[in-house]
Amino acid sequence: MQVLSLIAQKGGVGKTTLATCLAVQAVQQGKQVLVIDLDPQATASFWSDTRGKPDDPAVMSIQPVRLPAVLKAASDAGTDMVIIDGAAVSKEVAYSAAEVSDLVLVPFKAAVFDINSVAQTVQTIKQVGSRYALVLTFVPPQGKETEEAKDIATQLGSNFCPVLIGNRKAFFRAQSSGLAVQEFEPDGKAAEEIKALYTYVSDELAKQPQEAGNVKKFA
Ligand SMILES: Nc1ncnc2c1ncn2[C@@H]1O[C@H](COP(=O)(O)OP(=O)(O)OP(=O)(O)O)[C@@H](O)[C@H]1O
Ligand SMILES: [Mg+2]
C-alpha cells in the first residue's frame, strides 16, 4: 500500500483539490483508494457527500491520532493507495501525515508572500525525514512566478515537482459539484495537469522500496 499526503500549513493552496483529483485518477487506473481527511473543516468529506459515490473513492474523516490504526485496517483490506488530505495551520496534522507517508506533496501558490509558510511546512517534513516535493499551484498564464517559485524551492533545498497546476476555474467548478476535473472537463487543461501530476507521483512512488518505511509506523 502506498501512502501519499498533501500537506501545507498555508490555507487555500489546493491540498483538497489535488487530493481528490489524484484519488479519482487512481480509481480510474483501477486502484482501490482511500482518502483520509485530517482537516477539521472536512472539505474532502463534504466533496464525497456531494459526489454521492461513497466508495469511488472512499473518504474517511478522522483525527490524526487514529492514523496508524486506520492505515493498518486499510492495508489489511487490500487498499492500494491512501491519499491523506492535511489541514492548514496545524503542525500536528502535518507531522502525523508526513510520518506515515511514502511521499508528501506540498502545494504552494505562485506568490512570494507564501515563502514563510512553505518554509515552516518543509521544516516539519524534514524533521520527520519523509520524501517530498513542492507543487506550484494557481499558476497564472504568464509571469515570472514560476521562476521565482523554483528559486524558493532551491533556497529551501527542496524537490520541485515539474508539473505545474494552472489557475483554472474548472478546479472550483468540479470540486463544488463533487467531481474531479478529469470528470468535469475530460479534455481540459486542468485534467491534463492532474494526469501529469499523477504520473509524476506514480514514478516517484515507484522509486521507493515498496512497504519499506511506513509499514512499521502503522503496524
Ligand atoms: N489550481 C487552481 N486554480 C483555481 N482554483 C483552485 C485551484 N486549486 C484549488 N482551487 C480552488 O481554491 C479553493 C481552495 O482550494 P482547496 O480547498 O483545494 O485548498 P486547501 O489547501 O485544501 O484549503 P484549506 O487549507 O482550507 O483546506 C477551492 O475553492 C478550490 O476549488
Ligand atoms: Mg483542504
Q: How far is the CA of 104 from the centre of ligand 2 (A)?
A: 15
Among the atoms of ligand 1, which is closest to the Cα of residue 10? 25
169 lies in some domain: yes
14 lines ligand 1 (CB under 6 A): yes
138 lies in some domain: yes
112 lies in some domain: yes
218 lies in some domain: no
- Predicted TM-score (pTM) of the model is 0.95
Of 180 and 88, which is predicted with more confidence? 180
213 lies in some domain: no
73 lies in some domain: yes
pLDDT reported for residue 150? 84
Q: Judge whether residue 60 has pLDDT over 80.
A: yes
**Which residue, by CA, sits nearest to atom 8 of ligand 1?**
14
Return the ligand number nearest the Cα of 8: 1
pLDDT reported for residue 112? 63
Average pLDDT score, the chain: 91
15 lines ligand 1 (CB under 6 A): yes
* Number of domains the chain contains: 1
> Which backbone phi and psi does 173 adopt, to 5 degrees?
-65, -45
CATH code of residue 191: 3.40.50.300
pLDDT reported for residue 154? 87
pLDDT reported for residue 215? 46
Whole-angstrom distance, CA of residue 42 vs CA of residue 61: 7
**Which residue, by CA, sits nearest to atom 16 of ligand 1?**
14
219 lies in some domain: no
Query: Domain range spanning residue 170?
Result: 2-206
In this predicted model, what pLDDT tens digit does every residue of 135-182 receive, in sequence order? Answer: 999 998 887 888 888 888 888 888 999 999 999 999 999 999 999 999
23 lies in some domain: yes
168 lines ligand 1 (CB under 6 A): yes
Q: How far is the CA of 13 from the centre of ligand 1 (A)?
A: 5
Mutate to test the pocket of ligand 1, among 10, 15, 17 (most ligand atoms within 8 A of CB): 17
